[in-house]
Amino acid sequence: MVKVIIFHPEKCKGNLACEKACSKVHFKTEDGEAKSAIRITKGKDGKYQATVCNHCGLCIDMCPVQALKRLPSGIVTLNKNTCVGCQACVAFCPTEVMRKALGNIVPFKCISCGMCVKACPEGALELREFDLSDIEREVYARHGKVCK
């Protein structure tokens, strides 16, 4: 089982409190989108969309120095002390959730800490547990591949 952030677009009003809370977790600042692992954008249809890590783990094998690993909780994390800043994980991430902040060599990603969920005044975010094999199957299917 792994905890994943779920977005409910019908509740989102776009105040971006979630992005500010996330940037505070990662960078001790409320710079929002530039330093947030969750991104809220408005689609062409006028509805809000969220981009956040689902912890599929496809990035793990891309790291040449093994700085990415899956914790027993199912969360994929990045060891900042091991990372050499090659950005292979950023380039590879199929959902574009591995991020690089301007001025930082080490990328960052969602760790499902839940701070964005707590910060959202509309309740548009939820932290829910999923079976890891279900997540892997869905991600592989989205990209036209068969799950290993």
Tell me what pLDDT residue 147 has: 46
What single letter denotes the amino acid at residue 20? Answer: K
- Other beta carbons within 10 angstroms of residue 87's beta carbon come to 14
The pLDDT tens digits of the residues spanning 62-95 come to: 999 999 999 999 999 999 999 999 999 999 998 8
The pLDDT tens digits of the residues spanning 92-122 come to: 998 889 998 888 899 999 999 999 999 999 9
